[in-house]
Structure 1
Amino acid sequence: MEMYENENDQVDAIKRFFVENGKALAVGVILGVGALVGWRYWNSHQADSARDASLTYENTVSAIRADQPQTLAAAEKFAADNKNTYGALAALEVAQQFVDKNELDKAAAQLTQGLSAASDENLKAVINLRLARIQVQQKKADDALKTLDTVKGEGFAAIVADLRGEALLSKGDKQGARSAWEAGVKSNASPALSEMMQMKINNLSV
């Protein structure tokens, strides 16, 4: 539930709510008592729904990690039914289970579904990075490169460079892979990732 510093913040939130829901209401109506009551009810309902989704997500993930019977199917259903952040996170968990089983097509399908549910750009970036990694494993280098092109932000530059190098190398493009890894080493990579990419560069010369 949002917290407001003053009444103006709450009024702004009410306006956003009605605009986002396509209600062409005058400002005077928005500020009316009925609108305020309706807003509080809706906000409370949304908070309850979010808590329910959060609890179900946590229980589902705990069951998956405990390898309990039937939980994978339940998690798939939860991911499909919840077109929100929790659904996207569940799709990530389910995809990892399929990767562990070497069922890469199913893992990729889960991640694609998760992308459609995610709204946060950072979460989308994480999903796309995992999808690109799977596509490299599937020998779908061109698809992986296209997926990596959608990942923006300096915080992901090093990981993108590493995966781009892997995709290009799988296509036989050693020079392209070298350039990608060299760019990654020069980026904001962690010491461990930077060292790993440098090792890959060195191995190209062997």
Structure 2
Amino acid sequence: MDVYETEEQQVEAIKSWWKENGKAVVLGAVIGLGGLYGWRFYQGEIQAGKEQASNAYTQAITALESGNESAVADVKAFIAGHESSQYAVLASLQLAKAQVQQGDLDAAAEQLSWAIANTKDEAILPLAQTRLARIFAEQQKFAEATAELDKVTAESWKAKVAELRGDILLQQGDSTGAREAYVQAQQLGASPVVQMKLDDLAQ
């Protein structure tokens, strides 16, 4: 037997249900559609922000590479304005490279330290750490250089770290330690340049 025996009863039941629940249904639909629109708007804003940061980064680095007098200040301003973006970290690495070429090692070390503190990217972090170690070694800060190298734990960087450790030891006059480090670098699959360094030590 049907629950509702006539069409009139069914219509009355629907009207009654709608009277009790209609507002909630409409409100739920509005909230759902509003949330969907809001999410799409939010995603669109994020994408637009990324594109804007990308364009600004490209302009700043192009100016830096061209040797524009205001380029260093422009890159610093870009970094300050995009601190939470990985573009700022990349800009910091490029700025440090330019500062090394200009002989301003203190400023370059400062930029690399900032980059290290503001990224967790496994591709960027060891690069910044090894570059900072090179700068410390150039400044004769060998303890700091070695400590920075010790922080590099990525498997793919072990050969490079061993080679750089050999370079630092050689700078300190420790040819025996340098040779051991170069041999380790070779065993880890370092570049052919390491063999040249070993040959130089053998002479």
TM-score in same-fold range (> 0.5): yes
CA distance in 2, matches of 1:170, 1:142: 12
Q: Is the 8 A contact 1:142 1:167 kept in 2?
A: no
Q: 1:203 aligns to what?
A: 200
CA distance in 1, matches of 2:182, 2:34: 60
Q: Give the percent of matched residue pairs that are identical in Structure 1 and Structure 2.
A: 34
- How many Å apart are 1:37 and its aligned residue? 3.0
Runs of 4+ in 1 over 6 A off after TM superposition: none
Q: 2:151 aligns to what?
A: 150
- How many Å apart are 1:205 and its aligned residue? 2.9
TM-score, normalising length: structure 1: 0.77
Aligned residue type for 1:171: Q
- How many Å apart are 1:115 and its aligned residue? 1.7
CA distance in 1, matches of 2:132, 2:42: 36
1:95 is aligned to 2:96: yes
Give per-residue Cα distances to partners, 1:67-116, cap 9 Å, x unaligned. Answer: 12211111122123322210011011111111111110111001111122
Higher gyration radius (CA): 2
Q: 1:68 aligns to what?
A: 68
CA distance in 2, matches of 1:107, 1:45: 34
Assess, with a 3 A threshold, how the Cα gap between structure 1 residues 34 and 176 changes in structure 2: closer, same or farther. Answer: farther
Assess, with a 3 A threshold, how the Cα gap between structure 1 residues 182 and 51 changes in structure 2: closer, same or farther. Answer: same
- How many Å apart are 1:33 and its aligned residue? 4.2
> How many pairs are equivalent?
173
Q: 1:79 aligns to what?
A: 79
Give per-residue Cα distances to partners, 1:9-68, cap 9 Å, x unaligned. Answer: xxxxxxxxxxxxxxxxxxxxxx94444333222221111111111000001111111112
Moved more, 169-178 or 40-49: 169-178
Q: Is the 8 A contact 1:53 1:86 kept in 2?
A: yes
Give per-residue Cα distances to partners, 1:154-206, cap 9 Å, x unaligned. Answer: 321221111111112223332221111101111132xxx3x221222222233
TM-score, normalising length: structure 2: 0.78
Structure 2: gaps spanning 5 or more residues: 1-30
1:125 is aligned to 2:126: yes
Q: 1:23 aligns to what?
A: none
CA distance in 2, matches of 1:120, 1:38: 30
Aligned residue type for 1:90: A
Q: 1:37 aligns to what?
A: 37
CA distance in 2, matches of 1:33, 1:180: 63
CA distance in 2, matches of 1:152, 1:80: 29
Assess, with a 3 A threshold, how the Cα gap between structure 1 residues 119 and 179 changes in structure 2: closer, same or farther. Answer: same
SS of the residue 1:139 aligns to:
coil
